[in-house]
């Protein structure tokens, strides 16, 4: 009993310290791009995209919610496509359940092909459903991360400071100097 209480106490004190994010790696302070001041022409959507970072908890959410990452990075059309694709995958699983079959049993039971007369059709539906569900999740996560990084790079490039030589003419005088612009 005493060991159980010590274990519960350890879990109660240690787990909240690490409960901020279910993640494998630690975020360093320099992970985000910091502006000295927000550029005047920056929209809220651009600022929000720069502040977005996809973590392991987003991966878990993308496994449950179809198109989660694409909706989060303001790619609504692709997000809705992923909702439709994953819905088709779930519809295949529902079809198998309506015929008293389990998606996992059809996929992983090697004896089913000898006992079930409709095994070829059920296997095709099961493999297609699994491919649609798994493929839409992987596409959402991987393509969403790549797309977010491209968008963030474009925004950083658009608003990054530019240092260069400048020449200005005032009347007859030509002046040269160093210019920093945003």
Listed by start position, the domains of the chain span 40-181
User: Rounded CA gap, 45 and 63, in Å?
Assistant: 25
User: Rounded CA gap, 149 and 157, in Å?
Assistant: 12
For the chain, list residues with pLDDT below 70: 9-37, 161-182
CB of 70 closer than 8 Å to CB of 144 = yes
Tell me the whole-structure pTM to 2 decimals: 0.67
Which are the contacts of 93, defined by CB distance < 8 A and separation ≥ 6? 103, 126, 129, 133
List for the chain the helix, strand, coil content (%; round to 5): 65, 10, 25
Q: Please tell me what DSSP assigns to residue 24.
A: S
- pLDDT of 73 reads 92
Q: Is 42 helix (H, G, I), strand (E, B) or coil?
A: coil
Token code pair at residue 141 = 């996560």
């Amino acid at each position: 009993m005493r060991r159980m209480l010590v274990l519960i106490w350890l879990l109660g004190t240690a787990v909240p310290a690490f409960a901020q994010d279910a993640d494998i790696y630690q975020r360093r302070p320099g992970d985000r791009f910091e502006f000295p001041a927000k550029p005047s022409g920056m929209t809220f959507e651009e600022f929000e995209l720069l502040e977005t970072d996809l973590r392991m908890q987003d991966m878990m959410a993308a496994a449950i919610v179809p198109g989660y990452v694409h909706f989060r990075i303001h790619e609504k059309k692709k997000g809705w496509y992923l909702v439709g694709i994953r819905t088709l995958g779930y519809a295949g699983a529902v079809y198998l359940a309506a015929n008293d079959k389990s998606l996992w049993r059809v996929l992983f039971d090697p004896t089913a092909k000898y006992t079930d007369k409709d095994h070829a059709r059920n296997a095709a539906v099961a493999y297609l459903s699994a491919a649609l569900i798994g493929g839409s999740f992987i596409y959402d996560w991987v393509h969403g991360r790549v797309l977010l990084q491209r968008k963030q790079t474009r925004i950083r490039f658009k608003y990054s400071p530019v240092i260069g030589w400048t020449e200005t003419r005032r009347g007859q005088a030509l002046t040269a100097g160093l210019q920093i612009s945003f």
